[in-house]
A and B are shown apart, each in its own frame.
Chain A
Amino acid sequence: KNQVEQSPQSLIILEGKNCTLQCNYTVSPFSNLRWYKQDTGRGPVSLTIMTFSENTKSNGRYTATLDADTKQSSLHITASQLSDSASYICVVSRTGANNLFFGTGTRLTVIP
């Protein structure tokens, strides 16, 4: 069964600290993996897209890693800011399929 699981479900960190969010998937055959940020009441916004051959990709303070062998990805946020408070969604695309497989997200709260 094609699934995407994220952990933790929620996370609270102090402003300025780093954190890492996890994504495990069983989607096959794999096409690409995306991380989205979704602010409350807004639509998801793309952070990174990684294909099979890419094992790391950065977007400012966000760095995503991909291990296609173990089917795991992580999103590392450096020097967190209050504006990082959002849900982070992992999405996996399957080759030849029209639907994407969405995780349920990690709710990150950054406190001063």
Chain B
Amino acid sequence: NAGVTQTPKFQVLKTGQSMTLQCAQDMNHEYMSWYRQDPGMGLRLIHYSVGAGITDQGEVPNGYNVSRSTTEDFPLRLLSAAPSQTSVYFCASSRRREGEQYFGPGTRLTVT
């Protein structure tokens, strides 16, 4: 099993550009989520999904969109990048909402 994979590993965007961060898992997990990690702060939940076709907002959803067309994939879209979105982004999955979460390796995003 590859576990949770994320691409790209690094990305630099200019303000106003859009892009999609990819996340995939091969463990048949129903629950997937996106977090951002900023210096001096705990991970914060952006969006999550409890299964294919179902998504919901987390703590900091503004400026981000998600979709879940399959169990395996959960892409995160930045609509119009802003410097405040400079962060490290982690995707995670678990068999159920309160189960053990498996994190991807992260995407380091810089917006200039």
Contacts and interface: CB of A to CB of B under 8 A. Distances in A.
Nearest to A45: B103
Q: How large is the interface on A (under 10, 10 to 19, 20 to 34, 35 or more residues)?
A: 20 to 34
B42 A42 contact: no
Interface class of chain B by DSSP: loop
Contacts of B50: 98
A38 to B, nearest CB: 8
Which of the listed residues B41, B98, B105 has the most CB atoms from chain A within 10 Å of its own CB?
Answer: B98
Contacts, number: 49
Interface class of chain A by DSSP: strand
A102 B42 contact: yes
Nearest to B42: A102
B26 interface: no
A34 to B, nearest CB: 8
Contacts of A46: 100-102
Interface of A: 4, 31-32, 34, 41-46, 49, 89, 93, 98-105
